Amino acid sequence: MGLDVVGGKPSGVSFNDVLRQSPVALARALGDTLAYMDTGAVVNSQGRMVSPDVNAMTLVYRLMGFYPASATRANDFTRVGKYQQQYALEISSAYKTAYIKAAMANGGKGDRAAMQAVLDQVEWWNEAAQGTGLEIANFRKNMARALKEAKLPAGERFLKAAPKAMRDQASTWMQLYGADQ
């Protein structure tokens, strides 16, 4: 709350927010219980609803230090979903890296046989993963764009990925470091 007063944090920090961030478990439980009572739902510390299931027993158990079962189930589902997304990203990234390395081989002329082998592997993967949500969509199209990006110097790739509001400043820093050459 002190940082809020001096402008170090966004305004709107409440005593309940302080309780919910406390290192003391009892204070966190009390803060959570007050937040659940205020909103009528199980909400996380960012104020987002985790579960609409709040009753007197939920409040009592949270005060005793137990996290609501409905919220635990929702968090478990989210965690499993994130694991699947991360796995899909890792698989896709591995194929992307292999394709780019093959395309950049031979002084940038590319190793056509290796590139085709990666495309064949992606096709095999997509057949095996069909219906699982792990398919790699639009691989050829995405690789054309990724290869174009890979051929750019690191500084230019950073500038393209930087938020528009930061690009002028980032460009200045790039010039100061001599990375624009």
pLDDT, mean of residues 121-127:
97
Measure the CA angle with vertex 48, ends 132 and 77; round to 5°: 25
Residue 45 pLDDT: 83
What confidence tens digit (pLDDT) does each residue in 143-162 have?
Answer: 999 998 888 888 888 888 88
pTM comes to 0.68
Give the residue from 179, 181, 88 showing the smallest Cα distance to 133.
88
Q: Is the pLDDT of residue 91 over 80?
A: yes
β partners of residue 50: none
Residue 1 pLDDT: 46
Q: Is the pLDDT of residue 42 over 60?
A: yes
Residue 94 pLDDT: 96
Rounded to whole angstroms, how far apart are CA atoms 87 and 142? 18
Q: Is the pLDDT of residue 127 over 80?
A: yes
Rounded to whole angstroms, how far apart are CA atoms 72 and 61? 13
What confidence tens digit (pLDDT) does each residue in 43-89 have?
Answer: 988 889 998 989 999 999 999 999 999 889 988 999 999 999 999 99
Give the residue from 148, 169, 170 showing the smallest Cα distance to 159.
170
β partners of residue 42: 51
Measure the CA angle with vertex 21, ends 79 and 81; round to 5°: 5
Give the residue from 102, 84, 80, 91 showing the smallest Cα distance to 147.
102
Residue 107 pLDDT: 84
* Cβ atoms of residues 134 and 88 within 8 Å: yes
Q: Look at the chain and count its residues.
A: 181
